[in-house]
Structure 1
């Protein structure tokens, strides 16, 4: 596995493979890698000639400076994880100047409203930061295919919209959320949980599975009330928001229509660790 530490070095690597007409698969990360990340590269390996990773903790997508400071940085372990997987041909480790030559400032995008829902409502400017770094990485890596986990479903939708706005010729693939044996979504943030907090996190997938059971049998206001009651009885975990939204618009809904696809989104805080998860909903009529 080749370790690429500068934009200039990356340009040479990409040019070589473009000349050979190799297809390039890419999945950007912020490090603190876990099997969920590796699942992206496993899929990419089956669909591309060359697979590229990147590790860069992007400052413009953090609203809280403390969150940025606390974000786990485990580069040595990450490189070993990528090497051991056998799925990755090269990893790009850019410096800030490689991605933000004029300083770490986000571009502003019009994502047609999906940036204002859920995460966008609670984290103003977050998706401008995501869009800025992903657009720049796409322009430098020039992938044919890019892979993102469905755990960050709204981010996946934003990136699909980004490619439309920028007319970048990269196909975006969503990969199902990787989960621990107890159902908790794999996340770099899980490393910050205490042992007790990690056990408490099981309520997240358990609640989403209950929502799936209720969906189509109860009204959405009734489901919302049941979820609220679950967390009112859990003093060690705070629900930031729960939403059932249309998968296309990401707008929350109050009435189920059979010709639409829906997804439940749940965000909680355990201690000082913010965790997100979601689940596609099918009808139980």
Structure 2
């Protein structure tokens, strides 16, 4: 396993693959790896000549300083998990200075409004930070294929929009959500939950399943009322938002037969922010 801390050395290695026209797979992460990340790595290893994984906690996508400071950092354990997939994976672990040089700031992006929905409306500047760091990684790695989990479905749509609007030659591959046995979507932040809290957090998955069942017969207003009532009965949770939106533009709207819809949810549990989503049709 090759580990790089600077983009120049990484670029020197990858130039050999680029010159031969070999495919490069890329899995960007913030570390604290779990089985969801490893499933992305597995898919990349199977479909590319070389796979690069980045481990970088990006400061510009955090709107909460405490969240940034408390985000789990487990690089040594991450390396061991990566080895279980393949010893040939290239690992890029840059510093903040390496990625941002002397100015840790994000660039402002126009993602045609999808950046203002849900996560964007609750986390000011979040998607500018995401767009900034992903664009930098794409420039340094020059991947053929880049793999993103659908747990962060809005982020996945943002990255697809970034690639389209900036004419970046990379294929974005969305991968299914990996879940715990109780249905909780796997997330690095789950590490901050106690065993009891992690079990209780299955409520998100159960709520989404109920919304999916109701979607065929209930109005959006009725479904949202049911969700709000559900969380009022569980005071350990603070419901931040629950939305039903079209997958393409993420705008909460009335149902149209020719569109695909998803339910999106975000909650706070013991100062840990959890998000999830589910296809409804």
Match of 2:189 in 1: 189
Do 1:42 and 1:87's aligned partners in 2 also have CA atoms closer than 8 Å? no
> Matched residues in 1 for 2:185 and 2:59: separation?
24
Match of 2:53 in 1: 53
Match of 1:86 in 2: 86
SS at match of 1:172: strand
> Matched residues in 2 for 1:96 and 1:68: separation?
13
**Are residues 35 and 88 of structure 1, via their aligned partners in 2, closer, same or farther at CA, if it must alter by over 3 Å?**
farther
Q: Deviations over 1:149-190 (max 9, x none)?
A: 000000000000111122110010100000011111000000
Match of 1:64 in 2: 64
Match of 2:263 in 1: 264
TM-score, scaled to structure 2: 0.98
Name segments (4+ residues, structure 1) moved above 4 Å.
none
Indicate the larger mover: 256-265 or 39-48.
39-48
> Matched residues in 1 for 2:135 and 2:234: separation?
40
User: What is the CA distance between 1:21 and its match in structure 2?
Assistant: 2.2
Match of 1:220 in 2: 220
SS at match of 1:243: strand
> Matched residues in 2 for 1:219 and 1:181: separation?
30
**Are residues 152 and 21 of structure 1, via their aligned partners in 2, closer, same or farther at CA, if it must alter by over 3 Å?**
same
SS at match of 1:151: helix
**Are residues 242 and 88 of structure 1, via their aligned partners in 2, closer, same or farther at CA, if it must alter by over 3 Å?**
farther
TM-score, scaled to structure 1: 0.97
SS at match of 2:54: strand
Q: Deviations over 1:2-29 (max 9, x none)?
A: 1111111111111111123210000100
User: What is the CA distance between 1:267 and its match in structure 2?
Assistant: 0.5
SS at match of 1:160: helix
Structure 1: give runs of 5+ residues left out of the alignment: none
SS at match of 1:53: strand
> Matched residues in 2 for 1:122 and 1:91: separation?
32
> Matched residues in 1 for 2:184 and 2:102: separation?
39
User: What is the CA distance between 1:196 and its match in structure 2?
Assistant: 1.8
**RMSD, aligned α-carbons:** 1.0
Match of 1:277 in 2: 276
Match of 1:251 in 2: 251
> Matched residues in 2 for 1:164 and 1:201: separation?
36
**Are residues 143 and 22 of structure 1, via their aligned partners in 2, closer, same or farther at CA, if it must alter by over 3 Å?**
same
